[in-house]
Amino acid sequence: MHSYRPRSQVVSTTIDEDESVLLHLEAQQYYSLNETGHRIWQLLARGRAPGAIAAVLAEEWALSEAGALRHVRSFLQELREEGLVEEVRGDATT
């Protein structure tokens, strides 16, 4: 499974306790993250792999781990397409 990390050209700030905004400095674009996106971004910034992120979401929000993993993968793919994250080679924190 691919692991990702936030790109160095992306700055994040927490707006509310459970929402954040990302600024892609090169593209000069803002992105608003809801509670789920905010939580995924937090865990991603801490070096967590997609499976570990899904496990946390499943525990915190009483989701199935498989469903959480599908959501995490989909969200990370969107972030990748927007140039907000980059793929990490090697092991990521589980």
CATH numbers and ranges of domains, the chain: 3-84 (3.90.930.60)
Determine the Cα–Cα distance for residues 42 and 20; give it in Å rounded to an integer: 10
* pLDDT at residue number 91: 54
Q: Which residue has the higher pLDDT, 89 or 83?
A: 83
DSSP state of 27: T
How high does pLDDT run on average in the chain?
Answer: 93
pLDDT at 93 over 80: no
What pLDDT digit, counting tens, does each position of 48-80 carry? 999 999 999 999 999 999 999 999 999 999 999
50-61 and 35-45 are packed helices; what angle lies between their axes, rounded to 10 degrees?
140
DSSP state of 51: H
Q: Looking at the DSSP assignment, which residues form a beta bridge with residue 88?
A: 3
Determine the Cα–Cα distance for residues 93 and 68; give it in Å rounded to an integer: 18
Determine the Cα–Cα distance for residues 93 and 78; give it in Å rounded to an integer: 21
Q: Please measure the distance between the N-terminal and C-terminal CA atoms of the chain and give it in whole angstroms.
A: 12
Determine the Cα–Cα distance for residues 83 and 65; give it in Å rounded to an integer: 26
